[in-house]
Structure 1
Amino acid sequence: MNLETVSIRAEELWQFAITGLTDTNTYVQVTIVILVYLLAFWLAGKIRNTVGLTHHEPDLSAHPMRKLAYRVGYLVYPLIALVVLKVIIETSANNGFPTWFLDTALTIAVLLFYYSMIRVLVVNPVAAKLFKWVGIPILLLHLIGSLGAVIMALEDISLTLGNVNITAYGVVRVLIFGAVLFWLGRASNSFGKDIIRKQESIDIRTREVFSKLFEVALFCIIALLLLNVMGINLTALAVFGGAVGVGLGLGLQSIASNFISGIIILLDRSLTVGDFVEMDDGSKGFVREFRMRYTVLETYDGKDILVPNEKFISNLIVNWTHKDPKQRYRVDFSVPYATDIRAMVELIKEAVAEHPSVISGMDVPFEERPDCEIDSFGDSGVNMFVEFWMEGIDDGKNRVGGDLMLIIFETLRENGIEIPFPQREVRILNDELLKGKTTT
């Protein structure tokens, strides 16, 4: 393109602008656009104030669909403007009315609607920047009819490696669609799992199964779409699939075993989120999350233990809260042989029953009330123990055993009962012999 061509093109644009400014139809179209946006603003306000889902902002604990509906409410205004402009343009074109300014307004409306979707629906800041700085130029080129020329220019830039032809357009397409599919997979996974876990009518174990199956199915679909974008023939993956099957049987059997074990755990309901379990190696904690390869156990000191799922299938575990959150514990102590055991037992039971975490009261079954009994006869005193039931685990913030030991100690001291300690008596059997040696 030489300087003369540029000058001619600039002159044509100038004449077009002068003609448009002096044409009455231009001002009519401008007025129509203004009225359309005013109408869209008024209708959007009415809709948002009428529909409860879009009028009141939900709290953090609200259902994910409720939060999504509230955010989508912000798209009503640009969507109404876009639809009304499109209807007016089609009607005007069929009646022979000029629509060049309306077409320009429609292009801007589409870009504004796309920008509003990014602002409302895309929470991740990196993904939002990608959609803005990459998506908006692509959309603009498509709207003005120049995207095809850009694609042809990128296809002309190519590199041949053997039988494979790599073009710049193919690389750009894979990068853009790959990033979009990756973000869409992560966002859909989080949103879908939140919806499944909010279904209170389904028990928590079934919800975990559905959320895991949803995650696997979603990423399989994303992987297939990405392969299709890359231009890979899916039928050619049959041989590769057989090789992957052999790899699963040899090198990846541990990963496959952990994944299948996680599904079995959720289906047979042997574990659920919130259970307190103890492994055969001594590690214990609350089940906080089921993942594809491992289960997260949270200890009382704030650490997370990542336990492979197959350990719950092949090893012995103790589930303290599987059937009932109530647990029975005992506290041991000793009293002197001179103690009135029957009276002391009643004092200890009454003192232990006053603890707020101990299950007690006349409405509680007799076998679940605090009980104090003799354990054995020791060298220095009578060995006693107190059995009690409580909700939850006796550890961490819910440390009841330590409180009860202090209560027992104070109760014994208030009633003049001492805790016995080892003592030894030395008796001299031959006093005369000892006196004779002392005199000498």
Structure 2
Amino acid sequence: MFEAITSSLEGVFSKLRGKGRLTEANIKDGLHEVRLALLEADVNYKVVKDFIQHVTERAVGEEVIKSVAPGQQIIKIVHDELVRLMGESDTTIPFRENEQTLIMLVGLQGSGKTTTAGKLAKTIASKGKKPLLVAADVQRPAAIEQLKVLGQQLDMPVYFEHNSQPVKICKNSLQHAKERMNDVIIFDTAGRLHIDDELMSELQEIKEKLKPHQIYFVCDSMTGQDAVNSAKEFDTQLGFDGVILTKLDGDTRGGAALSIRAVTGKPIKFVGIGEKLDRLEEFHPDRMASRILGMGDVVSLVERAQQAIDMEEAQKLSRKIQDDTLSLDDFLMQLQQIRKMGPLKEVLGMIPGMGNKVDGLNIDEKQLQKVEAIIKSMTRSERSNPDIVNGSRRQRVATGSGTTIQDVNQLLKQFKSMKKLMKHFKGNEKNLKKMGLLSNKLPFGKGMIR
């Protein structure tokens, strides 16, 4: 995400690092390029003007000019100002105690409200709540059916009525939720291709009659300034408590994410970064600023790893590495857990120093699917002992997985090399300890490599 602005900013900072000494003149030249990069990223003009002014006031001074690493100081200032621009982190959902919490989702048609309703319900359920999804969009064809399908996928209840009015549906859902002990109700409301009086009247009536505790504006981040303008109009006419940005994984510019808080004054609560229902993340401005500047996002990476990787299985894997009994079943399990963390390109982008370099990597997710198909086409004995996979067996596995014998050979060769590498690590345990690589504080230390 934000590849265009990341690339532009990296170019600017590279030039500044090359200066023997920063002066007021070359700082301003650099910030002129930053300004152009932000405008090209579709950031609101007034927001850019305010941003550059703040950075200039902080950057042009004796403290920076005399710094040992003035280029790094500029990066730090830009990082801090990006965080300020996107506002303080506010990912909390203020649930009501001993009563139902009502959450209303609003936005234009095509912004991803219905899918976001499902993602939000899943997130809320993970916090120990029992959400109910309410199909209050009677305008868009198949909107009710879409929400029902999402409910089935999530094993979550959906309240709907055919040939009814949105306000009546929302009101009736309260009693339905009460009878079934649902403590959070999420209203998926109608949208339009553009803001009109009919849409706003409907939403205002729901707000007036239901008095939702939270209203979230859902918008497509890829629409840039259109999303910001829509947010401003919705906030003026209806008012909302927070923003959920969708399709952020496909947003190469970042204009909406960098502008919407400054324009509306409302926090970005969550971001959608994929189609799967578990791909809704809390929005943290400091982490996003680090990603934009190509500095990675270690905290989010660790959080994803904690959610995706089973620690008990990891300990079993550690013992198998120690005993040199690692099988292709174990390899497949680890591959599946890594894939749960999200697209590899996205995961690698969170590693500090990778930044825009990830764009140059040829990462083919289909290759991982191919590996999975090959392993699953093997018998249990072949997965436990790959050495028995001879020529005829390789032909059978290739045919069964829809791959070639060369693909099977490559996988077996890579697996053998990986086992040798792990054996080498185990054999050099003393040296690794001396280097401090087997401390209890490191995730790849004691308990992972013994």
TM-score, normalised relative to structure 1: 0.22
Q: Which of the two has higher C-alpha Rg?
A: 1
TM-score, normalised relative to structure 2: 0.21
More strand, by proportion = 1
Which of structures 1 and 2 has the larger relative contact order (alpha carbons within 8 angstroms, sep 6+)? 2
